[in-house]
Structure 1
Amino acid sequence: MARATKPSGRKRPSFETSLSRRPGHRESRQRLLVVCGAKVTERDYLQGLKSSARNSAVSLKIVEHPRSPSQVVDHAALLRDQARGEYDETWCVLDVDQFVDLEEAMAGARRKNIEVAFSNPCFELWLLLHFAEHSRQAHSYRELAPYLDQHFAAGYEKTGMKFARYEPHWRSAVNRARELAPSGDEHKVNPSTGMWRLALAIGGGEPRA
């Protein structure tokens, strides 16, 4: 009579067990370098937007370089090249103001594969669009300030940016800004701003209707 085979004490690894031992998939991020041609306000706004959006698909490095537009573009290209592939996109945030090297800056940006968010005349136009449409020409911050003052109990202040004031409205600003000028022509059209493209790159998604 044949003897019964004694079952082995070792278990065969299950399919699920082998899967569970695979290394986890690491989600890639879009790494942005943003160089601002002015101090404080732009930086504080962008940091506030990044924190508010909680978009884990994007990482953000912000550098201030208050110079003329073409100098800012050159500096952004230098930082990107020194980083040796650390960034996927490089942006410059620029005001038109009274600068005369706008076309030079745009030509340099195209040549060096740098995105530009021009505000014409200045960044405060982008802030104003959070609260209302604005299509009247303005040639300086002084001309825009009275419109912004209407939306702040104590008047608008360039320092002490509190993003919470803008947080509920940034997608509305995207919608309004898109209507003012063709993308890439903001340095030619007053008023207009290309900040909506950078806002979407940081915040993610398309604006709500």
Structure 2
Amino acid sequence: MTRRENTRTRRARAAREERARILLLCGAEVTEPSYFRGLKQRYRHPAVNVVRKGGKDPVSLIRLAAKLREQDECDETWCVIDVDEYNIDAAFSEAQRLDVKLAVSNPCFEYWLLLHFERCEAPLPCFQDVEPRLRQQVRGYNKKSLNFSDYAAGVTDAVDRAKHRCGDITRAHQVNPSTGVWALVERISTS
């Protein structure tokens, strides 16, 4: 009996580019971590590590991020912060010194959420000015329980609107309202 040759050609396994490992610290307890965990699932990006460290001022959050980066091998380290009453210039200096990227929202992260539904360029001095507009878009909006599915369909629109408003993430804290969250969202969705 003659040995039968295998005429099937083997397919070469597609080389999959390794995704960027992103360490992400949120200064809030619920809103930002819930959003980014949902975004991580949407883009099936298991290399994003979302760490909730609520109640930290931006400079302390940045220092903690740099310390955690030493323990967690990652390619990029990001902190998500609001302008609120903080000295954001000091935060930018510390972030640059420690090689931590910032996604700053002015006045607050809820402005980023609002951009999922509408373009908004009117001045918004504080969270209390953003929240009613967001509640018109998301019935039952509650800062303490965010459901990412409420925002999933508008992610691309939010990125476009935020870029249009202020495409320079190093200036987002100086323009009211604005947000640099779009840059982090793009990293998660494309890396």
- TM-score, normalisation: structure 2: 0.88
Q: Does 1:37 align with 2:27?
A: yes
**Mapped partners of 1:97, 1:106: distance in 2:** 15
Task: Write out aligned runs for 1:146-165 (5 A).
Answer: 146-154=132-140, 156-165=141-150
Residue equivalent to 2:163: 178
What are structure 1's unaligned runs of at least 5 residues?
1-8
Letter in 2 for 1:111: R
Matched residue SS, 2:165: coil
More helix by share: 2
Check whether the contact 1:33–1:61 (CA below 8 A) recurs between aligned residues: yes
Check whether the contact 2:138–2:150 (CA below 8 A) recurs between aligned residues: no
Letter in 2 for 1:91: W
**Mapped partners of 1:79, 1:204: distance in 2:** 24
Letter in 2 for 1:145: E
Equivalent pairs, count: 189
1:44 Cα deviation from its structure 2 partner? 0.6
Cα deviation 1:33-56 (Å, max 9, x = unaligned):
00111111100100111111234x
Matched residue SS, 2:32: helix
Counterparts in 2 of 1:62 and 1:10: CA distance versus 1, 3 Å: same
**Mapped partners of 2:31, 2:129: distance in 1:** 18
What are structure 2's unaligned runs of at least 5 residues?
none
Check whether the contact 1:124–1:141 (CA below 8 A) recurs between aligned residues: yes
Letter in 2 for 1:192: S
Counterparts in 2 of 1:53 and 1:25: CA distance versus 1, 3 Å: closer
Check whether the contact 1:97–1:139 (CA below 8 A) recurs between aligned residues: no
Matched residue SS, 1:150: helix
- TM-score, normalisation: structure 1: 0.81
Matched residue SS, 1:91: strand
Identity of aligned residues (%): 38
**Mapped partners of 1:30, 1:133: distance in 2:** 30
